[in-house]
Structure 1
Amino acid sequence: MSRIRTAAFAIVAVLLPLPAGAAEQVNVYTYRETKLVQPLFEAFTKDTGIAVNVISASSGLEQRIKAEGDKSPADVLLTVDIGRIDEAVQAGITQPIGSAVIDETVPPRYRDPKGHWTGISMRARVIYAAKDRVKQDAITYEELADPKWKGKICIRSGQHIYNNALFAAYVAKHGEAKAEEWLRGLKANLAQKPSGGDRETARDVAAGKCDIGIGNTYYWALMMNNDPDKKPWAEATKVILPTFAGGGTHVNLSGVLLAKHAPNKANGLKLIEWLAGEKAQQIYADANYEYPIRPGVPLNPTIASYGKLTADSLPIAEIAAQRKTASTLVDKVGFDN
């Protein structure tokens, strides 16, 4: 059976010092860069007096927590993408959050029906289109398999977790047979072998190697605002929010889970609930260029410039349930070959 491939990298531990006089603490394992989440945790400590100790890694945190067993210091796992969220649950390292605050704040489709995870922000899988060559401002995901785009699409590996989630959403929407047909059509329209990341996709669109590429919303904002070397790639492209036919734009999550053997469970719950609050949502949205999960929180101006996001109504848990099928189809059609 095909499997979803993830790279293995060394774990880097970054422990934030315990503030003087702080009697309480919470231990967070995270896939986000420490510099991106540290302002968030500093604000939490200021509000609650609870110190946050952080271990950051690019991969392998689920395996680490599982190996640590009931001696694991992890209280909370802060992660990205439904793929990693689901992998943590399947590894048996989580427990139900059981928070009325989360249930009241986070829309049901962005929470685990069994309570093991909740989203705290969203990103959309969108189109980076060449400003000078693509005149249309609306595209459906289904349309990506239309022969009119033959030789004009760039994308990273079909087995990458971001694309796996999109393909899984297509399976959930249309069924396995139609998803396979669509993937074959999308593959036939590729300008080159899937490679690189979302930034490189924008680079190749800007260079004229393709007219449209598929990427996450926040990468474009990061290139435009935070990376002068890559800003020309963003300036040469525009972001189009695609939709499913009769539906909305595919979104994925940054999510948080409560560790099964959390030694500071009460503080872990306080952090999870705080992350869903207005202050944290605004900090997180601005630091990471993501969409707040909490209704009514203002968008970062760059993200707002993409236009109104109408997120698809498909529950994220239903997408997670189709991940293995999507991965199998990628191999079956030879998408990355």
Structure 2
Amino acid sequence: MHRTSLDFRLWPMGVIFLAILLVAGCSEDNTPTQLTDEESEAVEPTAARTRSVVVYAASSNSQIGPVLEAYTTETGTKVNLVVDDYAKLVAKIERSGGGSVADLFIATNVGDLWHAVENDIYRPVYSTLVADQISENLRDAEKLWHALSIRARIFVVNTNLADAAQVATISDYGSLGDERWRGKLCLSSSSVQGNRSLIAYLIKSHGVRNAELIVRRWQANLATTIFDDDSELLQAVADGRCPIGIVDSNDLAMFTRDRPDAPLAAQWFAAGSPVYLDVTGAGVTRHAENPDGATALLEWLTSGQPNALFAVLGLEFPANPDAPVDVSIERWRRYVADPMSVSELGYFQEDAAKLAERAHYP
């Protein structure tokens, strides 16, 4: 069994971006071809594109694009990239049926990865190299997808408003239901996938009844109305509308990168309790025209430096435990990863949605 804890090493962001620029500058234009909707559904079959791989990605082009460019530079393999909303990409794959032109499909959270598995999007990848690079708790039990990057669902505090002594007592997610936080908590919508999967995590960890009690206590402690997304929540905490909230670690990292003077800090559990991890993952599609090429790309994406490149562009942690991590989030490496398999949380997604509805958590 591979390691289930994250032993992060450091690699400054500047070094990583310099590496990208140097690699890209040593060759002709290797930028992945961005396909339109019509083009993505009219890619020629395998015989006509044996040296190309088609990637469908729900992640942003700014995160995956430079990494695929480096792959083409290193291997000579052309990559056709389609970036779109998850639901639209799945619809394209399902419309094409057995003639799918997507070889590799990247989804950005556990909920979407579970949905893709349920809709028979992926095929198993029996690669010893990928298995050696990605720990068991960060991949599907049937090897249908493997994590590329990791982020944690954490607390963000306004350092000017939050009482340091109270913050120091936070021991787990249930702590924000304590009466001491009455009228002080900010939450984003339960439809935010990070919250939906966090509720699934609570159900898996504590059972439905106790998980619902935690969510109801959160609701009782709200400082203001529910926000549509984490970006709005971060703005509210920074502006002082509430001293504490729950967000993804990469969203906080991006916000403070753009606003370094914002009075925000990440809060990890005082007792070293595990935090919920979400992942961006990738898998070879069931009807891939070029499955061997897609598998080779997945092996490369999960290897050390390429995995670090992908993670740093999203200010996330690499899924490969031996890949270096960006120095800007080094101070957050002290969290302890829960050895629970993230793929197991897919089974609790529907229960999480029902719980949120019962608790009147919009």
**What's the TM-score, normalizing by structure 1?**
0.88
Deviation at 1:224, TM superposition (A): 2.4
| Whole-angstrom distance in 1 between the partners of 2:326 and 2:36 | 30
1:76 equivalenced with 2:104 (yes/no): yes
Does the aligned pair in 1 maintain the 2:121–2:285 contact within 8 Å? yes
Deviation at 1:23, TM superposition (A): 5.9
After superposition, the C-alpha distances for 1:133-159 in whole angstroms (9 at most, x for unaligned) are 221346221101111111111111112
| Whole-angstrom distance in 2 between the partners of 1:44 and 1:262 | 19
Task: Spell out the pairing of 1:100-119 with structure 2 (5 A cutoff).
Answer: 100-119=128-147
Deviation at 1:315, TM superposition (A): 1.1
After superposition, the C-alpha distances for 1:195-253 in whole angstroms (9 at most, x for unaligned) are 2321211111122211101111111221222x3xxx16x7211011248x774111110
After superposition, the C-alpha distances for 1:45-93 in whole angstroms (9 at most, x for unaligned) are 1121111101111232122211210111000101111011011111112
Q: 1:194 aligns with which of 226, 238, 241?
A: 226
| Whole-angstrom distance in 2 between the partners of 1:246 and 1:325 | 27
Deviation at 1:305, TM superposition (A): 2.4
Q: Give the equivalent residue in structure 2 for 1:88.
A: 116
Q: Give the equivalent residue in structure 1 for 2:327.
A: 301
User: Which structure 1 segments of 5+ residues have no match?
Assistant: 1-10, 17-21
Q: Give the equivalent residue in structure 1 for 2:286.
A: 260
Larger proportion of helix: 2
Q: Give the equivalent residue in structure 1 for 2:248.
A: 216
Does the aligned pair in 1 maintain the 2:111–2:346 contact within 8 Å? yes
1:147 equivalenced with 2:175 (yes/no): no
The one-letter code of the counterpart of 1:50 is: T
Does the aligned pair in 2 maintain the 1:13–1:54 contact within 8 Å? no
Cα 1:200/1:242, change in 2 over 3 Å: farther
1:24 equivalenced with 2:56 (yes/no): no
Deviation at 1:298, TM superposition (A): 2.1
User: Which structure 2 segments of 5+ residues have no match?
Assistant: 1-34, 41-48
Deviation at 1:259, TM superposition (A): 0.5
Q: Give the equivalent residue in structure 2 for 1:36.
A: 63
Does the aligned pair in 1 maintain the 2:192–2:229 contact within 8 Å? no
Does the aligned pair in 2 maintain the 1:125–1:251 contact within 8 Å? yes
Cα 1:172/1:78, change in 2 over 3 Å: same
The one-letter code of the counterpart of 2:60 is: E
The one-letter code of the counterpart of 2:111 is: G
After superposition, the C-alpha distances for 1:181-207 in whole angstroms (9 at most, x for unaligned) are 111111111112212321211111122
Q: Give the equivalent residue in structure 1 for 2:263.
A: 236
| Whole-angstrom distance in 2 between the partners of 1:312 and 1:293 | 14
| Whole-angstrom distance in 2 between the partners of 1:174 and 1:108 | 22
Does the aligned pair in 2 maintain the 1:247–1:313 contact within 8 Å? no
**Matched position secondary structure for 1:116:** coil
Does the aligned pair in 2 maintain the 1:205–1:211 contact within 8 Å? yes
The one-letter code of the counterpart of 1:165 is: S
Q: Identity over aligned residues, as a percent?
A: 27
Pairwise CA RMSD of aligned residues?
Answer: 2.2
Deviation at 1:307, TM superposition (A): 4.6
Cα 1:246/1:36, change in 2 over 3 Å: closer
Task: Spell out the pairing of 1:164-183 with structure 2 (5 A cutoff).
Answer: 164-183=196-215
Deviation at 1:36, TM superposition (A): 2.0
The number of equivalent residue pairs is 316
Deviation at 1:12, TM superposition (A): 6.2
| Whole-angstrom distance in 2 between the partners of 1:15 and 1:297 | 35
| Whole-angstrom distance in 1 between the partners of 2:326 and 2:52 | 30
Q: Give the equivalent residue in structure 2 for 1:6.
A: none
Cα 1:115/1:304, change in 2 over 3 Å: same
Q: Give the equivalent residue in structure 2 for 1:48.
A: 75
133-142 vs 59-68, greater mean Cα deviation: 133-142
Does the aligned pair in 2 maintain the 1:146–1:185 contact within 8 Å? yes
132-141 vs 169-178, greater mean Cα deviation: 132-141
Cα 1:15/1:210, change in 2 over 3 Å: farther
| Whole-angstrom distance in 1 between the partners of 2:119 and 2:91 | 8
